[in-house]
């Protein structure tokens, strides 16, 4: 396992409990009636995206390691995956905090940016795997 594979995997694994805490927070806020339907739906979407994208990140890092991609290449892919995960899921939370139903906000833009970062990361990973010796 390369240095990049190792540390990016550690970061992703340490991030999993934060998503678990988010689920706990969602349950508490919902039970207390502190979220509107709009906020609850976005909170659920952000939470679900964060969990799924962390699993995607761990899978992508495993693929990068098996393809024996260089450390700098893996850092770029891993960095884009981390930034994309944070941007996309965080955009849902931000829109829940500052947005309004049916209107765009900076949270909406952040979610789209995250999707673009994730797409670039996966295309780079695909290219790295396809051209690996």
> How far, in whole angstroms, is CA 46 from its chain's centroid?
9
Average pLDDT of the chain, as a whole number: 94
Its pTM stands at: 0.90
Half-sphere exposure of 33 (CA within 13 A, CB side): 0
Q: Where are the domains of the chain?
A: 3-131
Give me the pLDDT at residue 27, please: 87
DSSP 2-40: -HHHHHHHHHHHHHHHHHHHHHHHHHHHHHTT-S-HHHH
Contact 58, 86 (CB under 8 A): no
- Coil/strand/helix, residue 100: coil
Domain over 3-131 is classified CATH 1.20.120: yes
Please count the other Cβ atoms lying within 10 Å of the Cβ belonging to residue 78: 23
Q: What is the pLDDT of residues 79-120, one digit of tens each?
A: 999 999 999 999 999 999 999 999 999 999 999 999 999 999
């Amino acid at each position: 396992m390369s240095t990049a594979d190792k540390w990016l995997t550690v970061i992703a694994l340490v991030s999993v409990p934060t998503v678990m805490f988010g689920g706990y927070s969602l349950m508490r806020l919902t039970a207390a009636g502190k979220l509107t339907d709009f906020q609850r739906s976005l909170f659920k979407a952000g939470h679900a995206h964060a969990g799924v994208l962390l699993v995607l990140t761990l899978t992508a890092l495993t693929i990068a390691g098996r393809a024996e991609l260089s450390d700098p290449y893996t850092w770029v892919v891993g960095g884009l995956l981390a930034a994309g995960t944070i941007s996309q899921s965080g955009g849902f939370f931000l829109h829940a905090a500052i947005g309004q139903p049916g209107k765009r906000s900076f949270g909406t833009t952040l979610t789209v940016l995250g999707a673009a970062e994730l797409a670039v990361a996966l295309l780079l990973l695909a290219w790295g795997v396809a051209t690996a010796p």
